[in-house]
Amino acid sequence: MAGKAVSAPRGPYKTGVRRREQIVQAALTVFGEQGFAGGSIRTIAERVGVSHATLLQHFGSKEGLLTAVLEEWDRQTVETGLSGVEGLEYFRRLPLVMSAHLANPGLLELFITMAAEASNPAHPAHTFIRHRYDRNLTILAGHLRQAADAGETTSLAPAQIDMEVRIVTAVLDGIGLQWLNDPSTDIVQAVATFMDRTIADWSRH
């Protein structure tokens, strides 16, 4: 929606939008390589060629930049392997999504660290993380509802669908956290094993 509203900006405003995009892309690279602890605003500002102060002006705060980075990460994740995918196929693609995350371990670390810290309602990213959970659960529930309505699965009540998508989300987050601490964790195979079993159970009439 933001993309539509700024589809033909001109002058200083257009420059600002472009600069903001540059900063988000640089931040994606820096955090992707160096993670939450290693990535610094100063490094990002240097890459884009702006001052620390100018960079923060675009986002209000470090948390503002971090949430912009996570939003862009989410957008790219959907583009990577989930765009236009519907019903059960959406769930079958989740191992591929984890596979894409392996290319950017720092972004996975950024999300998990923020999600843990932001559970404190006083944290500046609390509302963002809470909304991100809500949005992702709604998307997953929509696909499972679609699968059930199309007869791809057994009949599922709304409360069951809600529970199922929470479990799927738990596996994706939890296996990511485990992998951050133990890189020998095969997160693609873990998600594939879990999803295959879960889909088989959903489909059992």
- The amino acid present at 31, given as its one-letter code, is F
Closest separation in Å from C-beta 135 to a second copy: 12
Residue 45 found at the interface with a second copy (CB under 8 A) = no
Annotate each residue in 79-108 with x if it binds a second copy (CB under 8 A) or - if it does not, as one string: ------------------------------
Q: How far is the CB of 59 from a second copy (least distance, A)?
A: 22
CB of 194 to a second copy, least distance (A): 5
Kindly write down the DSSP assignment for every residue of the chain, as one continuous string.
-HHHHTSS--HHHHHHHHHHHHHHHHHHHHHHHHHHHH--HHHHHHHHT--HHHHHHHHSSHHHHHHHHHHHHHHHHHHHHTTT--THHHHHTHHHHHHHHTT-HHHHHHHHHHHHHTTSTTSTTHHHHHHHHHHHHHHHHHHHHHHHHTTSSS---HHHHHHHHHHHHHHHHHHHHHHHH-TT--HHHHHHHHHHHHHHHHH--
33 within 8 A of 106, measured Cβ to Cβ: yes
Question: By CB under 8 A, is residue 178 in contact with a second copy?
Answer: yes
Q: Does 169 bind a second copy (CB under 8 A)?
A: yes
The C-alpha atoms of residue 97 and residue 73 are separated, in whole angstroms, by 12
Span from 7-15, 53-61, 89-97, 169-177 in contact with a second copy (CB under 8 A) = 169-177
Q: Indicate which single residue of 21, 79, 86, 134 sits in contact with a second copy (rule: CB under 8 A).
A: 134
Which of 65, 115, 144, 188 is in the footprint of a second copy by CB under 8 A? 115
Least separation, in Å, of the C-beta of 189 and a second copy?
Answer: 6
Using the rule CB under 8 A, give the single segment among 2-10, 53-61, 125-133, 144-152 that binds a second copy.
Answer: 125-133
Of residues 36, 59, 170, 195, the one with CA closest to residue 108:
36
CB of 28 to a second copy, least distance (A): 19
Residues that bind a second copy (CB under 8 A): 35-38, 109, 112-113, 115-120, 122-123, 126, 129-130, 133-134, 163-164, 166-167, 169-175, 177-178, 180-182, 185-186, 189-190, 193-194, 197-198, 200-201
